[in-house]
Amino acid sequence: MSQSDYLFTSESVSEGHPDKVCDRISDAIVDAFLAGDPLSRVALETLATTNFVVLAGEVRGPESLTHERLEQIARDAIKDIGYDQEGFSWKDAQVISRVHAQSADIAMGVDAGAEKDEGAGDQGIMFGYACTETEHLMPAPLAFSHAILKSMADARHAGESAFGPDSKSQVTLRYVNGRPVGATSIVVSTQHAEGVSQEEIREKVRPHVLKALPEGWMCPEAEFYVNPTGRFVIGGPDGDTGLTGRKIIVDTYGGAAPHGGGAFSGKDPTKVDRSAAYAARYLAKNVVAAGLAEKCVIQLSYAIGVSKPLSIYVDTSGTGKVDETHLANVLMEVMDLSPRGIREHLQLARPIYARTAAYGHFGRAPEADGGFSWEKTDLVPSLKSAFGA
């Protein structure tokens, strides 16, 4: 039997966190390839440390995206995040590209041909989740963790604060009868300028926390931790080496739902690690938005080179109003879950990924140019009709 009264914690990290710097660079390069050719193939990893960035991976796309161009894209991403400090600057960091052509063996298995549809770029399992805890149908601890850091980043970009680019947040909520009712502790660590006191930073952080939380949800003062080590001047890749794809729980559901293990950033939408995870979120969100369940977990599985999903699993954690097996069958009918079907349904072959690299891939508003298309709830009428709702 599941608990009804408990504490649950999720964390987020800012766009200037070392791993997120790498995610941003990798996704900016994905966008550049897709802008040049929507059928580009990209699997791009980034490593960043003190004034040093390495790009590595396999690509197939426009020849205009030379090593020099990729290096400039990396610098532009670092500049946009806001790094121009001793130890890591967009101006003088060394950037090395070791990107090379996609394996012909992988291309043979993945590309469509006269006798086969486009296959999955790899084997794997992908999960999607939605719940009624927030208006965007996301777990509340993660949603609030993201909101705190996004508010702080907006203030920094507007020149209104002493925050540095690198920061982290962590929110613990109390649940009563399975519903969140308030925060019991909040942790925020943020990079700052030399000479700024811990108490000053604490008071600069406070309004961003209050803005993110519902009224009356603030934790007790003794459980409000800001820069608990007392000092955070050296930050970003100068303080800690970053790698693409190391913040997958931050990217998804904050630990409130399973994760298949694959990262998203740096991958074009033929990679089911990314596209099928987006599709699973899309389906789960539409199930909850249609009122068919208060919580919904969806698992999809694939084999490299095979177009159809090997399985679909639906779990509504006892909150469902319809049979889960029947629901799984209906979901397969309302959406083609082949890699091509997902890519076309959600229109993923567009340069819309750099914006996903921080503050979560899910729970964001769909955008006019197709960004976050997997957050739409346009399947609700079809799902309601299928169940006579």
The tens digit of pLDDT for each residue in 191-235 reads 998 889 999 999 999 999 999 999 999 999 999 999 999 888 899
Question: 67-81 and 18-36 are packed helices; what angle lies between their axes, rounded to 10 degrees?
Answer: 130
Query: Which domains, and CATH codes, for the chain?
Result: 6-14+140-242 (3.30.300.10), 18-110 (3.30.300.10), 124-132+244-262+269-386 (3.30.300.10)
Q: Which amino acid is at 103?
A: S
> Which residues lie closer than 8 Å to 177 by C-beta, 6 or more apart?
4, 5
* pLDDT at residue 19 in the model: 98
Which positions of the chain have pLDDT values less than 70? 1-2, 103-117
Residues annotated within the binding site for L-methionine are: 58, 102, 240, 271
pLDDT attached to residue 112: 55
* DSSP structure string for 253-319: TTTSS---S---TTB-TTSHHHHHHHHHHHHHHHHHHTTS-SEEEEEEEE-BT--S-SEEEEE-TT-
d(CA 323, CA 314): 10
pLDDT at residue 102, rounded to an integer: 83
Binding site for ATP: which residues? 17, 166-168, 231-232, 240, 246-247, 263, 267
Q: Which tens digit of pLDDT belongs to each residue from 67-117?
A: 999 999 999 999 999 999 999 999 999 999 999 998 665 555 566 554 556
User: Position 373: which residue type?
Assistant: S
pLDDT score recorded for residue 281: 98
How far apart (Å, rounded) are the C-alpha atoms in residues 188 and 34?
36
Position 162 scores a pLDDT of 83
pLDDT of residue 104: 60
- Cβ burial of 265 (10 Å; 0-12, 13-18, 19+) is buried
> What's the whole-number average pLDDT of the chain?
94
Binding-site members are 17, 19, 45, 58, 102, 166-168, 231-232, 240, 246-247, 263, 267, 271
pLDDT of res. 1: 41
Distance CA 120, CA 117 (A): 10
What residues are designated binding site for K(+)? 45
Specify binding-site residues for Mg(2+). Answer: 19
* pLDDT attached to residue 388: 86
